[in-house]
Amino acid sequence: MPSITFAPDAPITSTSDAIAQEARAGLNATPKTLSPWLFYDEAGSHLFEQITELPEYYLTRTERGIFAANAEGILREAALGQGPSGKLTLIELGAGTATKTGILLTEAVRQQGSVVYQPVDVSETALDEATENILANIPGVTVRSQVADYTREALPLNRLVETRTLALYIGSSIGNFTPEDARDVLRNLRAQLLPGDALLLGTDLAPGNGSSKTIAALLAAYDDAAGVTAAFNLNVLTRLNRDLGADFSPANFRHRACWNPTQSRIEMHLESLLAQRVHIPANASGGALTIHFEAGESIHTENSYKFTSTAVEALLASAGFKKTRSWQDSQHLFAVTLATAV
């Protein structure tokens, strides 16, 4: 996966500028890369929602199960020491359609009577769907959404008087970043929180270390039999064609997932099936670009790092958080960790 850029080389004035800059930088690099945020146009967001329901994709249903079993304890633990109003404000990074978050919001309303929820995501379509679903199904929630890249932009922290902020970063999204960038993402979040605010972090656990997870099951989660993950990966080429006028032929690439044990991560690639050239016309970010691919050469589109409990605690500490408590499923596939800003 490409490193997440926190300080772009040139000012980004629109989403199309950001896409153009990312494509030019990544496709000119060796090896070629594209950042995973490019997955999430309208089609990609819908494909990802389909992925979360696949039988091979254990992550979403396992984390949902942890929330269903422990929501009351998670919210009460996060609220310890809060102001006399007894309320939390929830903000979520990379919220998507917030399907799992509804479990926590429902419990927050039960405990508090009402809750303000601030979802942040790069996909306006996903946020619109999340807002519609939450307002229709969970009375007592006030939604204040913001389309933003939380790795670059300040968070919309609408802090209420005498409340504590609980930041949600769930779904193992932190695993899409290199270890250094994961630390920087959490440091950026910590800089906008007050001491005593809390973070709920979802992480996929690495095979071994007490987990029943196998490498085969891990690979299947990123290369499902129905080909939905392949379509999700290939859709990034369709997006570049649409948004930049590129002439990728998705049929000339194949989805490939592999396990990198040294880095403790799943890697996703788009592998060129033949020697070919792809063109991107001139735009505000630069002149016309021709990209050469050899047969078998790939574009590295995503990493998904897998963690040990020790690694999670060390990551949190490096970003200014202290672990409070962790919850896992019975097979130790996934962990949800609550930490306090110190």
Tell me the per-residue pLDDT of 49-93, one tens digit each, with 9 for 90 and over. Answer: 899 999 999 999 999 999 999 999 999 999 885 555 568 999 999
Average model confidence (pLDDT) for the chain?
90
**Of the segments 10-14, 205-209, 253-257, which one has the largest average pLDDT value?**
253-257
Q: What CATH number does the domain containing 332 carry?
A: 3.40.50.150
4 within domain boundaries: no
d(CA 177, CA 184): 10
pLDDT band at 126 (very low <50, low <70, confident <90, very high): confident
Q: CB count, 10 Å around CB of 70?
A: 19
| The predicted structure's pLDDT at residue 91 | 94
127's CB contacts (< 8 A; 6+ apart) are: 95, 119, 121, 145, 146, 147
94 within domain boundaries: yes
Question: Is 134 found in the same domain as 92?
Answer: yes
Q: Tell whether the model's pLDDT for residue 271 goes beyond 80.
A: yes
| The predicted structure's pLDDT at residue 182 | 96
Angle of CA points 168, 178, 29, to nearest 5°: 130
Question: Is 85 found in the same domain as 107?
Answer: yes
Q: CB count, 10 Å around CB of 30?
A: 5
Mean pLDDT calculated for residue range 44-51: 92
Residues, the chain, total? 342
2 vs 304: which has the higher pLDDT: 304
1 within domain boundaries: no
5 within domain boundaries: no
8 within domain boundaries: no
d(CA 197, CA 329): 25
| The predicted structure's pLDDT at residue 132 | 93
Question: Is 80 found in the same domain as 36?
Answer: no
The pTM of the full predicted model, rounded to 2 decimals, is 0.89
Question: Is 80 found in the same domain as 150?
Answer: yes
| The predicted structure's pLDDT at residue 9 | 36
Question: Is 235 found in the same domain as 153?
Answer: no
Question: Is 67 found in the same domain as 119?
Answer: yes
Rounded CA Rg of the chain? 20
254's CB contacts (< 8 A; 6+ apart) are: 230, 270, 271, 273
Question: Is 229 found in the same domain as 82?
Answer: no
45 vs 69: which has the higher pLDDT: 69
| The predicted structure's pLDDT at residue 123 | 81
pLDDT one-digit tens code per residue, 302-337: 999 999 999 999 999 999 999 999 999 999 999 999
| The predicted structure's pLDDT at residue 125 | 83
Helices (H), the chain: 15-27, 42-51, 58-79, 101-112, 124-137, 179-191, 215-221, 228-244, 309-318
Question: Is 180 found in the same domain as 82?
Answer: yes
d(CA 119, CA 97): 9
Q: Is 177 exposed, middle or buried (0-12, 13-18, 19+ CB in 10 A)?
A: buried
9 within domain boundaries: no
2 within domain boundaries: no
pLDDT band at 286 (very low <50, low <70, confident <90, very high): confident
In sequence order, the β-bridge partners of residue 147 are 121
Residue 36 contacts residue 200 (beta carbons within 8 Å): no
Instruction: At 146, give phi and psi (nearest 5°).
Output: -145, 125
| The predicted structure's pLDDT at residue 2 | 33
pLDDT band at 190 (very low <50, low <70, confident <90, very high): very high
Question: Is 257 found in the same domain as 234?
Answer: yes
Q: Tell whether the model's pLDDT for residue 233 goes beyond 90.
A: yes
| The predicted structure's pLDDT at residue 13 | 43
| The predicted structure's pLDDT at residue 103 | 96
The structural domain count of the chain equals 2
d(CA 99, CA 313): 26
Domain span at 261: 15-53+215-305
Q: Tell whether the model's pLDDT for residue 248 goes beyond 80.
A: yes
Nearest to 28 by CA among 275, 266, 278: 278
In sequence order, the β-bridge partners of residue 340 are 198, 322
Question: Is 281 found in the same domain as 229?
Answer: yes
Question: Is 311 found in the same domain as 300?
Answer: no
7 within domain boundaries: no
Percent of the chain exceeding pLDDT 90 equals: 77
Mean pLDDT calculated for residue range 162-172: 92
Question: Is 199 found in the same domain as 74?
Answer: yes
| The predicted structure's pLDDT at residue 279 | 97
Mean pLDDT calculated for residue range 36-42: 90
| The predicted structure's pLDDT at residue 51 | 96
| The predicted structure's pLDDT at residue 1 | 35
